[in-house]
Amino acid sequence: MRMMIMSWSMCFHEVLDPEMLNTSLSELLTVGNWRKLGGRPRLAEDGKLELHIPEAFSPSRPAVHFTTEPSSSSVMSHPLASTIPSLFSHSTHVLSRPRILNTPSTLTPMLAGPEAPTTFSDYTTTDRPLLSLHVITFNDAAFVTITYPHSVTDGMGRKELVENWCRVLAGRKEDVKPLADPTFDPMARIAQSEKQRYNETFLWEHKRLRGWGKLRFTLNLLWYLLTNRIRQRNLFIPAATLRTLRQSAEADTSQSPEAATRLSDSDILTAWLVRLACSHITRSSPAKPIAVSTALDLRGRLHEEDMPADVGLRLQPRGVQLDKHDGSGLTDAQIYASTKLTYNAVAESGSTNQFTEPNGFVVSVSNVSKARFHEVIDFSPAIVKTEGGGAEERMTPRGRIVWQCNTPRVRMHPPCLVYIQGKDHAGNYLAQMLVAEKTWRVIEETISKM
């Protein structure tokens, strides 16, 4: 996670004031522990990460690395227009089925800006702060991108960051939520406690890879990466497609009305996207085990004394992997068992456990839909000009996002990643997938028939 750099981009139909955005974000980073986000990361001799925080931020040592790219032209004449749903086509048929976008591979460097860090050494060998802000403005749109190391925060932490940023932007600095003490580690408290709250064994402990099984899995993984080109693309999923998928899912669970009523958008999308991600596995190979690894947010799931309710964004979050195929994996005892296993694995080897067969194929799933960024983000105080055009704008309130997407920027891609970004004001979803080129060909064929 330390080596992974993330670029979080947001699209707006309005022209925004870049200076206001930078000033308000920088001001947030002067409040209490939020100052830590203005720190400069350094590697200590023991390999651990340190944050060197300036005594006072200044133009020569700012809290945020800020760049801007103004343009007097319309976004319609720019490649970034290809990311806006209402500009895909004037045909409603196009918006009635999924659409593959090449945004991550072709446009993320443009969105992040030429000075954005791409590797962790870009931080440790310079005086660059943790957050880099790049704002691109047209005469009818704006794109705002924050680049940061993934070790800074997770998806729900980004919600806390942008929510408090919006408060400062709106002149409500007194309402900023305090940042948790970065030295407080709830996972360490659970793993190292002499008296364990629960003593239940993790449900999938017997599937944890060890020894020769782990070696075989690693060799298979490396061979897969060597023989396949992994492509990072976005998938736009219209609300109409989700309705169709829901009808199909409810029909499949018709024998259990209770199960059908519990199906959330996230459940349906995750199942469908995982199926797409595995569509390259031929039916002639039924023995291929498939494991789905899901990141679980611990906020609100641990006991109050282990993780206070006011813990927001954390400087060094750790994901807990949990199998969610049924309710048994989400009991309090199972969450604590998984938390302890995850902490110990990272402390010992620097990576999390894998629970699968040695010849298994793992799909990693991350879903930040519950952050509800389309409701949380409000940059209306920074509006300079509102575009008075199309249907998509009428659907999107002033100062709210048309879309948002968080893109990992890594040299070595994981073999299979599904990242559900969330939805927009029209109920359309955006997901990012890192899968093999051969898998994308099957996906393209599948959605062309929808």
Question: How do 361-367 and 417-423 pair as beta strands?
Answer: parallel
**Which residue, chain included where needed, has tokens 């800006």?**
113
The average pLDDT across 163-170 equals 97
**Which residue, chain included where needed, has tokens 């992994």?**
230
The whole-number pLDDT of residue 214 equals 93
The whole-number pLDDT of residue 66 equals 98
Q: Report which of 441, 428, 432 is spatially closest to residue 273, judged by C-alpha positions.
A: 432
DSSP conformation letters of 73-110: S-GGGSGGGGG-GGGS-S-TTGGGS-EEE-HHHHTHHH
The residue type found at 379 is: F
pLDDT confidence bin for 324, thresholds 50/70/90: very low
Beta carbons of 135 and 68 less than 8 angstroms apart: yes
Strand partners, 322: 294
Beta carbons of 196 and 341 less than 8 angstroms apart: no
The residue type found at 107 is: L
Interval 365-409: pLDDT, tens: 999 999 999 999 999 999 996 655 544 445 789 999 999 999 988
Angle at 107 between CA 105 and CA 108, to 5 degrees: 75
Q: Hey, is 204 helix, strand or coil? A: coil
Beta carbons of 176 and 144 less than 8 angstroms apart: no
Interval 70-122: pLDDT, tens: 999 999 999 998 888 766 554 445 577 899 998 887 899 999 999 999 999 99
The average pLDDT across 173-193 equals 84
- The upper half-sphere exposure of residue 167, i.e. CA atoms within 13 Å in the direction of its Cβ, equals 16
pLDDT at 166 over 90: yes
The whole-number pLDDT of residue 391 equals 43
The whole-number pLDDT of residue 284 equals 55
Angle at 98 between CA 296 and CA 134, to 5 degrees: 65
The whole-number pLDDT of residue 392 equals 46
The whole-number pLDDT of residue 386 equals 64
> What are the extents of the domains in the chain?
5-182+370-410, 202-363
Strands (E), 21-64: 40-43, 49-52
pTM flag (> 0.75): yes
Does CATH place domain 5-182+370-410 in 3.60.20.10?
no
The whole-number pLDDT of residue 394 equals 57
CA of 165: how far to CAs of 16, 33, 175, in Å? 15, 14, 11
What's the CA gap between 311 and 219, in Å, rounded? 39
pLDDT at 32 over 70: yes
pLDDT confidence bin for 359, thresholds 50/70/90: very high
pLDDT at 1 over 90: no
pLDDT confidence bin for 55, thresholds 50/70/90: very high
